[in-house]
């Protein structure tokens, strides 16, 4: 069974100019589909400074992420993802990396996911950045929103 891994900031939610967060386009649709198909979703939050519970309630996402499916990871070093970020997550969660799919929004995160042998990696980037990611051999798909996600990648 596949496990889909979402990072809170940058993937599931996007920080707005006013400092608040908004759901990425297609988020709710994909989460509903994963729940119907009984595919586990994991939410990664890189710091405890944000009140994730507030945002899950605000956007009515509590049905999709139970507390056991939220993992807190201390991660940032100079605003770059540490190369063993996803390896640490795999150890914490006891998930098999080849059965996971990760949505990533930056190149260092994509490389960390590949280093951890994550089964599928999808780059979720802005339309203006899409072409920078298309030639990366580490990614299986490059999308601007969750509606564009190739559901065939959910097969095990």
CATH of the domain at 67: 3.40.50.1000
List Cα–Cα distances, 102 to 16, 65, 81, 90, 114, in angstroms: 23, 16, 14, 12, 10
As a whole number of angstroms, the distance between CA 31 and CA 63 comes to 9
| Residue 79 confidence (pLDDT) above 70 | no
For residues 39 and 154, give the distance between their C-alpha atoms in angstroms, rounded to a whole number. 8
The C-alpha atoms of residue 33 and residue 37 are separated, in whole angstroms, by 6
- Tokens matching residue 93: 């969660």
Percentage of the residues of the chain whose pLDDT score is greater than 70: 90
Distance CA 147, CA 52 (A): 24
Beta bridge partners of 72: 45
Count of residues for the chain? 156
Structure confidence at residue 139 as a pLDDT band (50, 70, 90): very high
- Tell me how many domains the chain contains: 1
> Does residue 77 surpass a pLDDT of 60?
no
pTM more than 0.95: no
Higher pLDDT, 117 or 79: 117
Domain containing 13 equals 3-75+82-154
- Who wins on pLDDT, 45 or 125? 125
> Greater confidence, 152 or 67?
152
Least reliable range by pLDDT among 10-14, 79-83, 100-104: 79-83
pLDDT tens digits, one per residue of 22-69: 889 999 999 999 999 999 999 987 665 566 777 778 888 888 888 788
For the record, the structure tokens of 39 come out as: 């595919």
- The CA R_g of the chain, rounded to the nearest whole Å, is 14
């Amino acid at each position: 069974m596949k496990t889909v891994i979402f990072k809170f900031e940058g993937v599931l939610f996007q920080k707005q100019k006013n400092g608040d967060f908004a759901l990425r386009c297609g988020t709710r649709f994909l989460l509903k589909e994963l729940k119907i198909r009984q595919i586990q979703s994991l939410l990664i939050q890189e710091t405890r400074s944000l009140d994730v519970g507030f945002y899950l309630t605000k956007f009515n996402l509590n049905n999709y992420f139970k507390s056991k499916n939220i993992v807190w990871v201390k991660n940032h070093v100079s605003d770059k993802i540490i190369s063993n970020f996803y390896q640490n997550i795999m150890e914490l969660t006891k998930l098999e990396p080849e059965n996971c799919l990760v949505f990533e929004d930056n190149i260092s995160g994509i490389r960390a996911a590949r280093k951890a042998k994550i089964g599928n990696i999808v780059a979720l980037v802005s339309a203006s950045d899409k072409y920078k990611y298309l030639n990366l051999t580490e990614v299986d798909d490059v999308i601007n929103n969750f509606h564009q996600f190739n559901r065939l990648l959910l097969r095990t």
